[in-house]
Amino acid sequence: MALQKILFGDNQFFGVNHMSEEKARSQSMKFADTESIMRVLDIAHAEGIKVFMCTTYDQVGEIADIVRAHPEKYPDFEFYPCMPYAHKYANSLGEVGIIETLKRFSPSGVLDTMFTGAISVVTQDMKKLMQMLVDAEMKRFDGVKTPVIFLQNVVTDLLLGMKSFSFLGEFHKYVRDKYDAEAGFITMNLPLLLEALESQGISNPIVCANINKIGFRMCGGVEVYEEVLAEKKCRAIAMSVFASGAIPAKEALEWVCNIDGLNSIVFGASSAANIKQTKNIIDELLKP
């Protein structure tokens, strides 16, 4: 499938800013309710941005409910879920332990969950556990469009570090077979990830990585990324193009849009002016 050129991200909605904790807290308070998030998504949608690339935190389920309930208003709206939402599982493990966490987030009944979890532990069948967690995250997206399902970098890069490349292949296969979707992979190490995916027979993968002028969170550096992307072995999505505000918007976009081999850009914004301005610059500069 061809990716849309512009995707809308969600960091601003739940308080993620890698440069400023104060700004992150302010954003989190501003978007404490689903209605405030939907106002911004409606602005982006009106500007022609049809894809919401989102972490699977609780409010996303409420957003999916709204989109599902109004198909006439959102006929072309797509979600790109990014999973797992690591903080959710980590907090739950600390609160109630592993068994209660499995019960809490399973899409099936308690007995099924306990049985499946027990089988996974006894047989060390991590593939089954992965499938169960994907199903748990995807339950909230029933009835809405999810053509791409992403594996978060916290897992992707852990698997890369452990050289457990086969799990990347299993994720790719499962979301294709179960959800008729393409797998996407978020990473802080684009060169190594492409090598790993190629070893699993995954060609032209969808990969989202930090790509910005100052090399912020780009393992290997800017020049290495430019060389890899120029080979056009993946459908690359650039995130953190502004390096959490360290680069002025126009300067950041002018640089990243000139990267050879870049397919798409995901960005987050909270005002109509910023959404419109960013979209207009990308439309003008990023060539298909």
Whether the pLDDT of residue 265 is over 60: the answer is: yes
In a domain, 210, yes or no: yes
In a domain, 183, yes or no: yes
In a domain, 145, yes or no: yes
Whether the pLDDT of residue 120 is over 70: the answer is: no
Whether the pLDDT of residue 240 is over 60: the answer is: yes
In a domain, 173, yes or no: yes
Whether the pLDDT of residue 274 is over 80: the answer is: yes
Range of the domain at 186: 6-285
In a domain, 1, yes or no: no
pLDDT at residue 158, as a whole number: 92
Least confident window among 116-125, 161-170, 171-180, 213-222 = 116-125
Contact 119, 128 (CB under 8 A): yes
Quote the tokens at residue 195.
Answer: 């090598």
Per-residue pLDDT of 133-183, as tens digits, reads 899 899 999 999 999 999 999 999 999 999 999 999 999 999 999 999 999
In a domain, 77, yes or no: yes
How many CA atoms does the CB half-sphere of 240 hold within 13 Å? 21
In a domain, 75, yes or no: yes
What ranges in the chain are assigned the alpha helix state H?
A: 21-30, 34-46, 58-69, 86-105, 110-123, 126-138, 153-162, 165-179, 190-199, 222-230, 249-256, 272-285
Whether the pLDDT of residue 14 is over 80: the answer is: no
Kindly tell me the sign of the dihedral angle through the C-alpha atoms of 247, 155, 141, 149: positive
Per-residue pLDDT of 30-49, as tens digits, reads 677 899 999 999 999 999 99
pLDDT at residue 171, as a whole number: 97
Whole-angstrom distance, CA of residue 223 vs CA of residue 230 = 11
> The CATH number of the domain where 166 resides is what?
3.20.20.70
- Residue 272: pLDDT band with limits 50, 70, 90: very high
In a domain, 118, yes or no: yes
Return the closest-CA partner of residue 229 out of 263, 183, 199, 252: 263
Q: How many domains does the chain have?
A: 1
The pLDDT mean for the chain works out to: 86
Whole-angstrom distance, CA of residue 156 vs CA of residue 214 = 23
pLDDT at residue 58, as a whole number: 81
Least confident window among 75-84, 93-102, 247-256, 267-276 = 93-102
Whole-angstrom distance, CA of residue 160 vs CA of residue 183 = 16
